[in-house]
Chains A and B, each alone.
Chain A
């Protein structure tokens, strides 16, 4: 059941992406993207609720669940930020990322077909997992805003101003403000996640200990990267291009790091 719901959610995200792209190509507003994404969110919630029931804990026990949770956080932040701040096309750029995360989760073996109930759950562990994934949702959306900025920046620099995409993209300043706010939100949640991680019980020796050390180090490096990025932006300032490239690059890098740690 949860798999079918995930497939439905992914199909909705793909339909939203394609519909949005076609609208933009023809220079129209992509007015249905919000509706498609709301449908995506409902299906994601259903998937996570079912998995949570099976697990008896927050469903973040395998890579598939982490990807679905991440896609859920990304969709949630888009639905909160996009329509509220009228950032047009944010949904069109977000929907494909959600679809990709969920397609990877649907690859056989990524999402455990028969989730086993977890025992010995710890509230700090659950808080660490949940806030970290939420942080990644916000940081993913920041990356999406960053990509939108890079596209618009290139069009403005090269004076290619007659495409439907250019007409529909929000202004440079609006994108940069959203990008920075999302980085702050993601950074804040990541800080909570890291703090909760330090408070959760961990293995002191054996193979699990090495894994925990690797995970902790990776988390600290990722957190320090974002902290440095925000500090430099606040104190010295960064060009929009630098900020967007660093937000996108660091997000992809940190996602890659956690895929292997």
Chain B
């Protein structure tokens, strides 16, 4: 029996192609059954995420099965002539290695991301429950999950945040621990502030205050986030109670000066204060960062931290590949999919 993987991902196909092959979570089991029902195919499984759709199947002859799968897709999705070029095909050990790389986050758009692990598990679970998998795919996926866990535990492939918003949220947690006791103020109702504030809220931030030059916009954003709107000339007063300030106004000069923070210090009893300045030009005077209890991060610093995390993840790739190869070698010794004797 031979293992085959046919798929497309964010590197080989644009979104308008990927979306045509996307399979909803509820249909993963049915799609897997359709694969395993094809002539000459004994097992099938479909992985579908926003960045990839992959078909795994076990057949007596991989080449013939691939032809049948292409025909199946052509009938189902009505492929244009050029679409086939977006697919990659991996067989036997290459397919197994590819799955391990996917599960470990090495093939993801955001290197080392963890979501893919759960998504592949969900796809496997759906196929298993639908009865579309048997010995080969069961063993392969169980092994791949083990490899994925090992890669994530033994390397730092998932360490650090790789986006500006996540870096800011992780820093807030490093300063305040659980954010459920933290209050946040947004200065300027820009898109970046909204996204960052929403991340903070999703991690438990207690309340949000929105101050914007246009009060109506502040009210709108506050309502959207379940917070309170503040008139722009009153933000200094709110500074006395909040823990995190996210600033992203379009103002051409700094709006938060050292004196503003100095004025609020006594009322705050010198509690830690985290400023996230994602505006260009900067909204917060760098001198604010010299105050003892203030942690000030501007967009360049956050971007730099995200880049460092991306860079350090890149450095881990070789180590991850080594673990995958070593684990696959063990898998081969115990009877790899491509070395298994025919079932019949």
Contact = CB atoms under 8 A, between A and B. Distances in A.
A162 B304 CA distance: 12
Contacts of A188: none
Given A159-B301, A239-B293, A240-B293, A172 B270 contact: no
A238 interface: yes
Contacts of A83: none
B292 A239 contact: yes
Interface stretch (B3-11, B174-182, B226-234, B330-338): B174-182
A241 B292 contact: yes
8 contacts: A159-B301, A161-B305, A167-B159, A171-B174, A171-B175, A172-B175, A173-B175, A236-B266
A27 interface: yes
Given A161-B160, A172-B176, 5 more contacts: A157-B289, A170-B177, A173-B176, A237-B269, A240-B272
B235 interface: no
Contacts of B173: 171
A213 interface: no
B305 A159 contact: yes
B138 interface: no
Interface string A70-83: 00000000000000
A82 B305 CA distance: 30
B310 to A, nearest CB: 12
B114 interface: no
B21 interface: no
B51 interface: no
A96 B297 CA distance: 34
B160 A156 contact: no
B305 A156 contact: no
Contact of A238 (B156, B270, B308): B270
Interface residues of B, number: 26
B207 interface: no
Interface string B204-220: 00000000000000000
A170 B177 CA distance: 8
A174 interface: yes
A242 interface: yes
A259 B259 CA distance: 45
B295 A156 contact: yes
Contacts of A161: 160, 171, 174, 305
A232 to B, nearest CB: 11
Contacts of B295: 156-157
Interface in B246-289: 266, 268-272, 289
Nearest to B293: A239
Nearest to B174: A171
Contacts of B163: none
Nearest to B289: A157
Interface in A129-188: 152, 156-157, 159, 161-162, 166-167, 170-174, 176
Nearest to B295: A156
B270 A156 contact: no
A176 B268 CA distance: 15
B119 interface: no
